[in-house]
């Protein structure tokens, strides 16, 4: 039985809770910021980790065939994507995988594209690798976000080497449709652009939505790499385990060489155990979680509607993208004001400077935390 109960995460070395408490010098706030969940992961996962610990030997590990079969079956069962075991390259963090991929597939000075507003670490990911960053900003119209395909083609024509693609898209909550992905792949193929499809949020799919992995297009275009992880889905980010799916032999060999050169052989022992369990016996827990997140979204939407504040329709992820601009406040001012009422949301400007007045709210929280958070938010809004 899924139980999305509230956890007190202070004094657990939590980046979200302890990190902010250290920064602001108090621990009376409720955090809806960093993208991890504030309830326990699925019981079979904690049971498996416990059992593994009780065994006592915490020595070197290897990634066995069972692991590859489980990943392969997950993609087939949930997304109807057929992959081969040897295409799967396990790694630690998704960001490490993305960074190494950028290094092996592009040279310094090769332009790399992202589509803002987007996960705030994509920008340093490209900048720290000394690749010129090209932003193909999403189009925001009628409270929906879409890809600017005309601009994308113009930029591709000028010579983009690689696109870091977010699928589903953090923070705007879009689950890209088959048609959109198909158009993207056609253009990437026409202009010879690598696509790194970051699918870390791919399992968090809301009512009436279907997630299409870019893996559906592996046969059409060989310069696609899918990067996925159970870290958001099952609240395992602290274990640092992910997978790259690389059908193209040349790219795969380059990537494996890069990992060997850096002695990054596989996810750690606890990550391996958690990933195997998550992807084999936790489908029901995930369905229950997706319902829970969707209910949280509806609750926030209803609350904000009374203030004439809208949010992007949540198709996927657990991240709400809220347009507070009717309040005529900057994201900085909103952040500080909300903190006075002991509620922390993330600033929209972290995801794009153009979205001042927006905030991101993570609703992977218990009912109890959400209710208390909304009551504080209402007080903060009433005071403006």
Which chain residues interact with ligand PLP by CB under 6 A? Answer: 35, 93-95, 119, 166, 170, 198, 200, 229, 231, 237, 242
What 3-state class would DSSP assign to 368? helix
Nearer to ligand PLP, 31 or 303 (CB): 31
Nearer to ligand PLP, 231 or 352 (CB): 231
* Beta-bridge partners for 114: 135
Nearer to ligand PLP, 81 or 166 (CB): 166
Tell me how far, at minimum, the Cβ of 362 lies from ligand PLP, in Å.
9
> Which pair of tokens denotes residue 61?
């590990």
**What is the bridge-based pairing of β-strands 162-166 and 194-198?**
parallel
Nearer to ligand PLP, 19 or 371 (CB): 19
Tell me how far, at minimum, the Cβ of 2 lies from ligand PLP, in Å.
22
DSSP structural state of residue 325: G
Tell me how far, at minimum, the Cβ of 113 lies from ligand PLP, in Å.
15
**319-323 β-sheet, strand order:** 310-311, 319-323, 358-362, 346-347
Tell me how far, at minimum, the Cβ of 225 lies from ligand PLP, in Å.
14
Q: Phi then psi for 16, rounded to 5 degrees?
A: -70, -50
Q: What H or E segment, with its residue span, contains residue 101? A: helix 94-105
> Which pair of tokens denotes residue 197?
């499809």
Tell me how far, at minimum, the Cβ of 171 lies from ligand PLP, in Å.
8
Tell me how far, at minimum, the Cβ of 326 lies from ligand PLP, in Å.
27
Tell me how far, at minimum, the Cβ of 297 lies from ligand PLP, in Å.
17
> Do residues 297 and 314 make contact, with C-beta atoms less than 8 angstroms apart?
yes
Nearer to ligand PLP, 106 or 167 (CB): 167
Rg (the chain; Cα; Å): 21
Nearer to ligand PLP, 166 or 304 (CB): 166
Nearer to ligand PLP, 241 or 247 (CB): 241
E strands within 169-312? 194-198, 224-228, 242-245, 310-311
Nearer to ligand PLP, 14 or 231 (CB): 231
Tell me how far, at minimum, the Cβ of 167 lies from ligand PLP, in Å.
9
Nearer to ligand PLP, 120 or 381 (CB): 120
Tell me how far, at minimum, the Cβ of 308 lies from ligand PLP, in Å.
29
Q: What H or E segment, with its residue span, contains residue 36? A: none
What 3-state class would DSSP assign to 195? strand
Residue 326 and residue 310: Cα distance in Å, rounded?
9
Nearer to ligand PLP, 166 or 272 (CB): 166
Tell me how far, at minimum, the Cβ of 119 lies from ligand PLP, in Å.
4
Return the biggest CA–CA distance within the chain.
59
């Amino acid at each position: 039985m899924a139980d999305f109960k509230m956890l007190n995460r202070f004094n657990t070395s939590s980046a979200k809770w302890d990190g902010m408490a250290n920064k602001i010098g108090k621990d009376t706030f409720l955090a809806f910021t960093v993208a991890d969940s504030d309830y326990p992961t699925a019981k079979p996962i904690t049971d498996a980790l416990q059992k593994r610990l009780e065994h006592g030997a915490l020595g070197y590990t290897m990634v066995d065939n069972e692991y590859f079969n489980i990943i392969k079956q997950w993609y087939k069962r949930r997304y109807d994507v057929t992959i081969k075991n040897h295409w799967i390259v396990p790694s630690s963090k998704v960001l490490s995988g993305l960074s190494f991929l950028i290094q092996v597939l592009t040279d310094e000075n090769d332009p790399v594209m992202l589509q803002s507003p987007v996960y705030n670490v994509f920008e340093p990911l490209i900048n720290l690798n000394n690749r010129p960053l090209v932003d193909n900003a999403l189009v925001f119209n009628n409270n929906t976000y879409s890809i600017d395909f005309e601009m994308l083609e113009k930029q591709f024509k000028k010579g983009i080497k690689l696109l870091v693609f977010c699928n589903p898209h953090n923070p705007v909550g879009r689950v890209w449709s088959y048609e959109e992905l198909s158009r993207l792949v056609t253009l990437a193929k026409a202009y010879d652009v690598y696509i790194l499809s970051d699918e870390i949020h791919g399992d968090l799919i809301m009512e009436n939505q279907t997630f299409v992995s870019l893996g559906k297009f592996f046969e059409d275009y060989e310069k696609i790499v899918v990067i996925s992880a159970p870290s958001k889905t099952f609240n395992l980010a602290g274990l640092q385990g992910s997978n790259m799916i690389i059908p193209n032999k040349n790219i795969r060999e380059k990537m494996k060489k890069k990992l060997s050169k850096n002695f990054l052989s596989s996810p750690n022992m606890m990550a391996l155990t958690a990933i195997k369990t998550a992807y084999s016996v936790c489908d029901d827990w995930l369905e229950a979680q997706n319902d829970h997140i969707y209910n949280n979204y509806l609750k926030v939407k209803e609350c904000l509607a009374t203030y004439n504040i809208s949010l992007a329709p949540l198709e996927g992820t657990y991240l709400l993208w809220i347009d507070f601009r009717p309040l005529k406040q900057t994201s900085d001012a909103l952040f500080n004001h909300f903190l006075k009422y002991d509620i922390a949301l993330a600033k929209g400007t972290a995801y794009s400077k153009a979205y001042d007045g927006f905030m991101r709210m993570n609703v992977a929280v218990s009912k109890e935390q959400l209710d208390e958070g909304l009551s504080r938010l209402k007080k903060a809004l009433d005071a403006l």
